[in-house]
Amino acid sequence: MLIPGSTPLFAQETAVVTDTDTIPIGLRKLLKAYPDQLIGATSNSLIWKDSTVMPYDDGIQNKDYEALLLTPDLEDQMSKKYVKGRDFPDPTENVTDTTKIRYTPFFEKMYGSTHAEVHGKLALVRWLPKTQKLKMYVTTVNDIHKKIQAISDELDNHPEWLKYVRNPGGAFNWRSIRGTDRKSAHSFGIAVDINIRYADYWLWDKQMGRPHKYKNRYPIEIIELFEKYGFIWGGKWYYYDTMHFEYRPEMLIDEASL
């Protein structure tokens, strides 16, 4: 059902834009990133194919970083810029400049809100089929399993990268983010951790008394490969997690293409 008094700015039958002037950039990115799930928007809501209407901006301004993590809305999720490629700023220079903010109802609606719902949509991926032949389970929603398989197949053709991606840290895992009650992206089957041996993670540094200072040991070419298929990298977060990749194509869309 639509919010009373609201008028969709996209036609339900064709999802063709009829008026983009009043649709926030964040909503336009979501619509472009997930055409199989979303059919339209109003000036302050997202419309799913089953006619579910999800609010965009809750109207609460100037949230601190804790509030952005614990009680975000869709607008907060889309408010931070992710810089593709190798020319990105030092993530540890600004605590609030992160794309780690997730509006959980959005991901629960798309991928499942329970272990059973998510598990029922998983598919097997053969990780590094030429060299390692490992098994990994990720969601089939948005064809993520096909994208991960394509990434794996490309990695398998680069022997110089294999040490960084063999023995991956994992994919689907129904769990909360360490030290929080918030669901991990792994819970939705949309995330992959590569070889933990080369990982840098802010919490490990904190526990060992090291400074919160950006570091990375993975080749940038691996990061660019994941980004090509719609995955953002945890190495570009303030709370850096360099082994982590998650499917977030909306964060990779160039505004000029909208």
pLDDT in tens, the chain (258 residues): 343 334 444 434 334 344 567 899 999 999 999 999 999 999 999 999 999 999 999 999 999 888 988 899 999 999 989 999 999 988 888 887 778 899 999 999 999 999 999 999 999 999 999 988 899 999 999 999 999 999 999 999 999 999 999 989 999 999 887 777 789 999 999 999 999 999 998 888 888 888 788 889 999 999 999 999 999 999 999 889 999 999 999 999 998 888
Q: What's the chain's Rg over C-alpha atoms?
A: 19
Q: Residue 244: name the closest of 192, 167, 173 by CA.
A: 192
* C-alpha distance from residue 1 to each of 5, 47, 54, 88, 114 (Å): 11, 9, 10, 41, 23
- What pLDDT shows up at residue 149? 97
Task: Supply 72's token pair.
Answer: 């975000």
What is the structure's pLDDT at 245? Answer: 98
Residue 217's nearest CA partner among 235, 230, 192 is: 235
pLDDT value at residue 86: 93
Q: Are 145 and 121 in contact (CB under 8 A)?
A: no
Is the Cβ–Cβ distance between 150 and 72 less than 8 Å? no
Q: What pLDDT does 19 receive?
A: 57
Q: 3-state SS of 214-230?
A: CCCCCCHHHHHHHHHCC
pTM listed for this prediction? 0.89
